[in-house]
Structure 1
Amino acid sequence: MWINKGLCKLCLIYSRVKDLINFGKEDEIPNMLRKLAEITEDYHSRTLSFVEAFEYVKKIVGVPDPYYKLKLELKAIGRSLVTEVERYLSSVNWDMREALRISAAANILDTSVLGFEPKDLREAIWDKPAIEESINIPRDSTIYLVLDNAGEAEIDMLLAKTLKMHGYRVVIAVRRNSYEIDVTRDDIDREFEILETPSSISPIMYLDGGFIIAKGIANAEAYIEFGKQPSIHLLRAKCDVIANLFNVKKNSILIVSGDTIKNKFRQYNGL
């Protein structure tokens, strides 16, 4: 399922070719383009197409986690902000709405989204949402916090801490295998219950029951395809497709329900 069959496939091509350039594998671009042609013919799923294409990047580069060093650098940046954010959340009595806003605002890091305009994380975390739905987080459900990119995940752990302080059972959900700069279990060193889902596909595909709080575009798009339980999505509209979907400026912060995301997809595609 593609939100926009043309632009999302263009993003796939841009992303994976950019990966090869990042790792000095420009000579492999023709092979990658042939592989992407196969993938887009074989898969009708945006999620599976992006994952399969990144698996091919790993095969070419010859390492299981190509962005490992970059993730360490991003983690250090995120950790440098933890004390400041923690101090702020303490000053507002660990208000859950504020924790959700900051976590959503932190979704500013990425490697290769088509048209992405980066912004310094130190400034970005204080930006305010363009769309902020009021969504009840049920107290009788396990809360699955589905993480996204390294760096911002350090801020997301403060959201997990906030939820825990309010009496929620929080489980951190991550992919077992590497995908772009997304965190895996090895990237997390805090005291939380962790659920490691198979392969490098979004954990959204495997979760059943509970309530989901998911970070980023990839997890939101996976929810359109595979999401079964109620959810909140914390993300920035990093690309033109998502910005147009929600009628906001690019890089705007969104705090929206899974139902809203699915309804927007249906409206956008006339379904």
Structure 2
Amino acid sequence: FNPPKANVEIHKMLKKESGINDPFMKDKDEQITFSSKIISYLGINPYDDSIQNLKHLLALAAYGNGLDPLVLGYNLNYKMLEDDVKNLKIALNDMDRFINALESGKYKYILYLLDNAGEALFDLLLSENLRVRGINILFAVKPPHETDITLNDFARIGGDLSRVFELKEYPIFISRNSLPNVDLIISKGLLNFEAYILNMNSFKIDVLTILKAKCSVIADYFKIPLGSYIIRLYQPIN
């Protein structure tokens, strides 16, 4: 049984049976409105190239993964998320390892696997900070799937369409997509993480996984409290 693949197939069936290609637009609109509000409240400057700001933007990328209404047993509570952002803590934190590798010049070209539409606003801020540091970023989005960001969503939140492509099959870690030649994959969210863990021995490339432990399976896997934020860098030995 392959949970990520089953998730994708179930959603494809839902779209086919309902005749609605993007059935969660209302949820995505709510996410985007919420994220815009939080970003305005924080007054973030993505072009500040201090290490402190980079760490803040990494933490916000993890925080954004809380914007997911479709994980079994997880309650998307906007009020609780508002409170979280005031004292954001990362339970599993490989920021320093990632930043050390970044500053060594190891990561020049990054593939960024986006997840939910609302959290992508935080991902765009992080990507702008990385671009200031001379890093090339290529985004990957899915066709309509749950509340995940699509090409249309990417455009409406201000993303640069010259730096994004749509996956024909997904998640990328179990699909037949040929990976572009990159130094690092930033992998957002549960579906991408599960697919990577199931197939990690097939990928001889560094992967930075960023997500929230929204279900007990992930919390138990990492031995952390439910609801914790995760930034974990995997560096396979070639």
What TM-score results when the alignment is normalised by the length of structure 1? 0.72
The one of 76, 84, 99 equivalent to 1:118 is 76
**How far apart are residue 226 of structure 1 and its match?**
4.0
**How far apart are residue 215 of structure 1 and its match?**
1.0
Matched, 1:178 2:148: no
**How far apart are residue 90 of structure 1 and its match?**
5.9
Matched, 1:96 2:96: no
The question of whether the paired residues in 2 share the 8 Å contact of 1:145 and 1:212 is answered with yes
The question of whether the paired residues in 1 share the 8 Å contact of 2:47 and 2:128 is answered with no
The one of 177, 180, 189 equivalent to 1:216 is 189
Unaligned segments of structure 2, at least 5 residues = none
Matched ranges for 1:170-209 at <5 A: 170-175=137-142, 177-189=143-155, 190-192=158-160, 193-199=163-169, 201-204=170-173, 205=175, 206=177, 207-209=179-181
Alignment partners' CA distance in 2, 1:125 and 1:102? 8
The question of whether the paired residues in 2 share the 8 Å contact of 1:106 and 1:124 is answered with no
The one-letter amino acid paired with 1:256 is: R
Alignment partners' CA distance in 2, 1:196 and 1:212? 16
The question of whether the paired residues in 2 share the 8 Å contact of 1:231 and 1:257 is answered with yes
Matched, 1:64 2:21: yes
**How far apart are residue 99 of structure 1 and its match?**
1.2
**How far apart are residue 77 of structure 1 and its match?**
1.7
Alignment partners' CA distance in 2, 1:232 and 1:196? 20
Alignment partners' CA distance in 2, 1:217 and 1:53? 16
Change (3 A) 1:140 1:216: closer
Unaligned segments of structure 1, at least 5 residues = 1-43, 261-271
Matched, 1:48 2:18: no
The question of whether the paired residues in 1 share the 8 Å contact of 2:109 and 2:137 is answered with yes
Question: For residue 158 of structure 1, what is the aligned residue in structure 2?
Answer: 125
What SS does structure 2 have at the residue aligned with 1:125?
A: helix
Task: State the Cα deviation string for residues 197-234 of structure 1 (Å, max 9, x = none).
Answer: 114x2244433431111111111112123452211011
Question: For residue 109 of structure 1, what is the aligned residue in structure 2?
Answer: 67
Alignment partners' CA distance in 2, 1:81 and 1:145? 22
Kindly report the root-mean-square deviation, in angstroms, between the aligned alpha carbons of the 2 structures. Answer: 2.3
Question: For residue 225 of structure 1, what is the aligned residue in structure 2?
Answer: 198
The question of whether the paired residues in 2 share the 8 Å contact of 1:108 and 1:124 is answered with no
Matched, 1:168 2:135: yes
Alignment partners' CA distance in 2, 1:70 and 1:119? 13
Q: Which has the higher contact order (CA 8 A, sep 6+)?
A: 2
Question: For residue 28 of structure 1, what is the aligned residue in structure 2?
Answer: none
What TM-score results when the alignment is normalised by the length of structure 2? 0.81
Question: For residue 131 of structure 1, what is the aligned residue in structure 2?
Answer: 92
CA radius of gyration, larger in: 1
Change (3 A) 1:217 1:203: same
Matched, 1:252 2:219: no
Matched ranges for 1:2-41 at <5 A: none
Alignment partners' CA distance in 1, 2:112 and 2:41? 22
The question of whether the paired residues in 1 share the 8 Å contact of 2:124 and 2:159 is answered with no
Alignment partners' CA distance in 1, 2:212 and 2:122? 15
Task: State the Cα deviation string for residues 22-62 of structure 1 (Å, max 9, x = none).
Answer: xxxxxxxxxxxxxxxxxxxxxx3222111001111112221
Alignment partners' CA distance in 2, 1:92 and 1:141? 16
**How far apart are residue 88 of structure 1 and its match?**
5.7
Aligned residues: 215
